[in-house]
């Protein structure tokens, strides 16, 4: 299957050209949601409450596929890669497309579980 896809998209292109056609972020996210919905993937209900000041609004549950996005995938990749401890920050930055550490650092989150791990040391 992979060979077919490569042949289809590489035909007539030089090595300096991109392999796949460009697509906007909004179209990509829409197609990602469609794929997850049609496949039945991520159908479990979750709530994603929002806060306005001290008030909690929008507590209605939605299927998880409605909340999925490429940005969420990028954040998840960074967090999971750090948690696995197999790659240094520079490698994770390169793979996630971050150019500067200041931008990358916004993706690094410390959870209460992370704090508990440190306390055990």
Residue 29 has pLDDT above 70, yes or no: yes
Query: End-to-end CA distance of the chain, in Å?
Result: 47
Residues 32, 70 contacting (CB under 8 angstroms): yes
- pLDDT for the residue numbered 19: 83
Residue, of 90 and 1, whose pLDDT is higher: 90
* Range scoring the smallest mean pLDDT among 5-14, 25-34, 67-76: 5-14
pTM, rounded to two decimals: 0.62
């Amino acid at each position: 299957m992979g060979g077919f896809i490569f042949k289809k998209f590489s035909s007539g292109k030089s090595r300096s050209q991109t392999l796949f056609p460009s697509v906007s972020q909004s179209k990509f996210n829409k197609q990602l949601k469609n794929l997850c919905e049609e496949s039945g993937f991520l159908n479990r209900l979750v709530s994603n409450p929002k806060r306005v000041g001290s008030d909690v609004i929008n507590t209605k549950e939605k299927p998880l596929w409605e909340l999925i996005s490429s940005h969420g995938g990028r954040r998840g990749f960074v967090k999971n890669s750090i948690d696995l401890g197999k790659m240094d920050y520079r490698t994770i930055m390169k793979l996630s497309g971050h150019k500067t550490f200041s931008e990358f650092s916004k993706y690094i989150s410390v959870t209460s579980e992370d704090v508990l791990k440190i306390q055990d040391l």
